[in-house]
Amino acid sequence: MSKLRSAMQKGKRSTLTMTETTKALRKRTKEAVKKEEPTNPCSRATYHTFHEPAAVLQIQSQLLSWYDKEKRELPWRTVALKEPDINIRTYAVWVSEIMLQQTQVATVIDYYNRWMKRWPTVQDLAAASLEEVNKMWAGLGYYSRGRRLHEGAQKVVTEMKGQMPTTVESLLKQLPGVGRYTAGAIGSIALGEVSGVVDGNVIRVLCRLRAIGADSTSSAVTEALWSLANTVVDPERPGDFNQAMMELGARVCTPKAALCGQCPLKTHCHSYHKVHVKQEANSQKLLGKVGKTPSTLGDIEDCTTPASCTLCPVEPWLDDLGVHNFPRKPAKKVPRVERTLTCVALRPGEGGEDEYLLTQRPNKGLLAGMWEFPSLLLEEENSEVKQQGALCAEVGRILGVKVNRDLLSYVGEVVHIFSHIHQTYIVYSVCVKDEHATEETQSENLQWLTRPALLEAAVSTGMKKILKLYETMGQLSHEVLTLKDGKRKKVVKNSKLSISKKTKLNPANGTRQLSLNSFLKTTEET
């Protein structure tokens, strides 16, 4: 029995030893496999970047050769190339870059030429008034840009002895409204600093070249794009290279109709390569030659870690989109809907020409410092009677009189789209009949202007649309009908608000109490 027990105990020990040995071997094997895993040659580090120096040199050479032949002659490029004074050159490029933000080149050219003729140096701009700047900027949109240019010029003159910043870093730190892109553009174009740029056009070009399909507004993609831009920029001609990238995006690598056949960089483009490999594969499939004929374009490489890669697209590739699969942008934010009551108030001027009443907006916020017809934002949808009552109260407050709603004539509606607001102006009109009203109502934030003066003033495009609508309706007979909220109403022409020359002061608050006499018929429903 003792021999049997001894043999059994030895067997248990042997089994236990073998189990422990097997576990240890498995552990060592896993560790060895983990250590020996090769680095994926098509990982994010290479697939989404410019990792070959020779390819970077080719991109620089090919793009600049294309740019030298195809570039547009633009006034700010001429200044950057020919102006010997570094201060004027930097100022001129700064003005152009601010104007070009969110605005097409064709629109900017005329504004830029007039601006530089009026204020050729930063000192000239600093000496101008904000009113003059707003007037010059009127119609260009995004009006805060002009105000920041003016603020920046004054800062340069008063705090920096009139000398523009001379590095990308100082441009970024010292000039209001100058961000990472603008500083890089001014620094490379005007100062020759080796700095890449990333704007909308460059984003599109880089995303297609390196097949970056993740949300182009995400922080990961943004930093990757800046890294790519700084890697590929030509150190000998940084300004020309950056302008070439933007030119390519604006004219060839466009958002919806890319001209890939004309692109000087198509041989380096992952998106272009992917499109043609897929087209060839589909052609072979239709011909029943799958697997029989090797592709002349070679195998297409994709990032092999798309699930964890922060630059790869989340959505699948769509053959119909081709290169337009890149870049991917998030859905646009739905613009805020606003409705604003607006009154075109006018009176006969001294020379017999009608004058329009304008008020100035606050110095901060949307359309800061611009002039507009008396307006009132609708906080909630009210009945027509309440709307007219509110507008009458606002116009009365401005004029210092009591305005009866029967004096208002409905003109129509004007829709104007801002970047983040869908604005509808509900337009009424009222005419003031009193030769002395101009003197009584003129103030710092209030003025009466003739039509030519109004069109030259710092008014937004929305206000010009309202004026055009009013003039169109004003040419119609008072018997012409218009539709509003499903009801037919007569448009009453030339409603007059008669202000008596006899004025009384309210002893309680000093407000003018003017007697009003309406000589127009009330708008009638038919």
Whether 266 and 63 have beta carbons less than 8 Å apart is answered as no
Looking at residue 234, its amino acid is D
* 348 DSSP β-pair partners: 354
Cβ atoms < 10 Å from Cβ of 479: 8
Looking from the CA of 516 toward its CB, the CA atoms found within 13 Å total 20
Cβ atoms < 10 Å from Cβ of 418: 16
d(CA 197, CA 181): 5
DSSP labels, 221-257: HHHHHHHHHHHHS-SSSHHHHHHHHHHHHHHTS-SSS
d(CA 437, CA 448): 10
Q: Specify burial of residue 92 (Cβ count, 10 A radius: 0-12, 13-18, 19+).
A: buried
In what helix (H) or strand (E) does residue 500 lie, and over which residues does it extend? strand 496-505
Q: Which of 75, 153, 70 is nearest to 108 (CA)?
A: 75
Q: Is 97 a catalytic residue?
A: yes
Q: Specify burial of residue 209 (Cβ count, 10 A radius: 0-12, 13-18, 19+).
A: buried
The CA-atom distances, in angstroms, between 248 and each of 439, 441, 493, 505 are 56, 54, 54, 68
Cβ atoms < 10 Å from Cβ of 110: 11
3-state DSSP assignment of residue 496:
strand
Task: Tell me which of 70, 83, 97, 132 is the catalytic residue.
Answer: 97
Per-residue tokens: 242: 């950056």
For the annotated catalytic residues, the residue numbers are 97
